[in-house]
Structure 1
Amino acid sequence: MAAKETRPQRRTGLGRAEALRLLGSVSLGRVVFTRQALPTVRPVHHVLDGGDVVIRTHEGAALTSHAQPTDNAGVIVAYEADAIDPDTHLGWSVVVTGYARVVTDPDELERVHELLPGAPTESADQVVRIRPELVTGVLLAETGSTETTTG
């Protein structure tokens, strides 16, 4: 089996607006949270809603279980999504770190269920809103390339 040719890459940091734009161009990412004192990663569908990342998951309670009911901020989580070509390793990756809360308001639930891809299922029936505090992203481009990816 022949080895794949690797191309020289450059990494370019993305600003908040561009990172969120790219995040909004895909519907699948990974939420990172703490479960039983260990980091846990789960793939989930998402949408951007008013600058927040909104996900549907069956682990909403596990995600936010260690938050106090009076803690309006929620619990800190990370959310990552990317579009990286498996052959060239070119593309982008965005990480959002912020506070997550289970959505319980019936009107908000109805509205975001219409925005989220797919219908709610028994295995993914809770909605969690992540309010970004820190947004970082990186563009992986070919050295010398000036093109911007569109997701």
Structure 2
Amino acid sequence: MPCAPGPAGRTTPARHMRELDRAEALRLLATVSLGRIVFTHRALPAVRPVNHLVDGEDVVIRIHGGGALASLSAPADAPGVVVAYEADAMDPDTHLGWSVVVTGYAQPVLDANDLDRYANLLHPWVERATTTATLRIHPDLVTGFRPRRESRP
């Protein structure tokens, strides 16, 4: 099996990327609770780590007021704010695992039943003031990749 130079002079097996289909990518995304949301803040790209849950195909996060993410709470009659959401599970030694990116519109969750359900399922992972909004990201585009070791001929 061909090898490529790795960290500190170690050799690592050659790898290639296998693209995941939408269903598999969303299934993998649902297996982890932490990801990164990419959004525009003061006309520049910004990234924040947040915890999430997957509800159907939607990614749901909770935010607190006053932070940069509060700008994502668009009015209910707006189509939402374009964001990307990325999560992965990669082994730091083998560099094997997966990565998923969801791109779509973030909109505030307004339904009281959904808000109560998400509040019970999705707890803040950092000490903050109470969360003030819940956002639902409906994916227009879902991409995912899984690095694999090159198989022997």
TM-score between both structures, scaled by the size of structure 2:
0.82
Taking the aligned partners of 2:111 and 2:34, their CA distance within structure 1 comes to 24
Equivalent residues in 2 for 1:109-128, closer than 5 Å: 109-117=115-123, 121-122=128-129, 124-128=131-135
Please say if residues 62 and 124 of structure 2, whose CA atoms lie closer than 8 Å, have aligned partners that are also in contact: no
Task: Work out the CA distance in 2 between the residues paired with 1:40 and 1:118.
Answer: 20
Gap change, CA 1:2 and 1:77, over 3 Å in 2: closer
Shift >4 Å, 4+ stretches: 117-121
Task: Identify which of 33, 49, 53 aligns with 1:47.
Answer: 53
Q: Which runs of 5+ in 1 are unaligned?
A: 146-151
How far is the alpha carbon of 1:125 from its aligned partner? Answer: 4.1
Q: Greater CA deviation, 50-59 or 112-121? A: 112-121
Per the alignment, residue 93 of structure 1 pairs with 99
RMSD: 2.2
- Asked whether 1:136 is paired with 2:143, we answer yes
* Counterpart Cα distance in 1 of 2:109 and 2:128: 16
1:69, CA displacement in angstroms?
A: 4.9
- Percent identity, aligned pairs only, is 54
Whether the 8 Å contact between 2:63 and 2:70 is mirrored in structure 1 is no
In structure 2, give the amino acid aligned to 1:97.
Answer: T
Aligned length: 142
Match runs of 1:73-88 below 5 Å: 73-88=79-94
- Contact 1:61 1:102 survives alignment (8 Å): no
User: Mean Cα displacement is larger for which, 51-60 or 74-83?
Assistant: 51-60
Q: Distance in 2 between the 1:69 and 1:113 partners?
A: 20
User: Rg: which structure is higher?
Assistant: 2
Q: 1:27, 1:117 within 8 Å by CA — same for their partners in 2?
A: no
SS of match in other structure, 2:52: strand
Q: Which amino acid aligns with 1:61?
A: A
Structure 1 residue identity aligned to 2:144: G
Unaligned runs of 5+ in 2: 1-6
Q: Is the 8 A contact 1:35 1:63 kept in 2?
A: no
